[in-house]
Amino acid sequence: MEAAHNPSSMASWKPLDVLTDSDNATLVEMEPTPPTGLEASVEQLHASFHEEANHLNEVQAMHTQVLVSAGMLPESHLAETEPDRQLKWMVEALHGKVNPDGLTIPLLGVTADDVSLFTRQEPEGTLVRLVVNDGDNEPLEREMPIPTGIEEVTAHYINGRLHLRW
C-alpha cells in the first residue's frame, strides 16, 4: 500500500522473472481431477460433496469479506490475524486458484511482456506485486501476501495463465 502512495519507495521492490512456455514447457498442474459422471462411484461423489459442503464456514468467510469491503472491519487487522485469507480473496477476485504450493491466475488476452512481478520482504512476510499493462488503459496492480516462511517464489506464464510457485 505504501508504494501506491509513495512512488519513490519502489526501490525496495525486487523484480521477479516471469518464465514463458519456451522457458519451461514441463510445468504441469499439480491438482488431480476428481472423477465425474459415470466413471465415479456413488461413494466417491458423496465423499467429494461432504468435503466441499462446508457451507457455514463459506458463509462466515463471505460475511467477513463483505465487512472488510464495507470498511466495517479494518483490513490491517485482517492482514495481521489471517494473511492467508487475504491472499485467497485477492486471487479469487482475479478468478484464480490458490494451490498448496502456489497460485494460478488466468490472464487471457495478455502477453508475457505485459506482466511484471516484484517481491518485497517485510517483517510480516513477503509481498508479491503483480502489474499487468493493458495498452492505453491504467495498469492493473495488486499486492498479495505470500504465506509466512516462504523464501523463494518462481513465476511462469504458460498458455495465458500466471503460475506462482513457492
Q: Which amino acid is at 129?
A: R
pLDDT in tens, 115-164: 999 998 887 778 888 999 887 888 888 888 888 778 788 999 988 899 99
What residues have CB less than 8 Å from 36, skipping those under 6 apart? none
pLDDT at 117: 92
Q: In terms of pLDDT, which residue wins out, 8 or 33?
A: 33
> Distance between CA 141 and CA 132 in Å, rounded?
7
**Within 13 Å of residue 78, how many CA atoms lie on the same side as its CB?**
19
Q: What is the mean pLDDT of residues 8-37?
A: 62
Residue 25 in this model has a pLDDT that exceeds 50: no
**Contact call for residues 117 and 132 (beta carbons, < 8 A):** no
How far from 72 is each of 56, 67, 89, 92, 142, CA to CA, in Å? Answer: 21, 5, 17, 21, 22
pTM: 0.57
pLDDT at 149: 79
Q: How many CB atoms lie within 10 A of CB 158?
A: 18
pLDDT at 75: 58
pLDDT at 32: 54
pLDDT in tens, 34-93: 666 677 788 787 777 767 766 766 777 777 777 766 666 555 666 566 666 777 777 877
pLDDT at 93: 76
Residue 1 in this model has a pLDDT that exceeds 50: no
* Domain ranges (residues) in the chain: 2-24+36-165
Residue 23 in this model has a pLDDT that exceeds 70: no
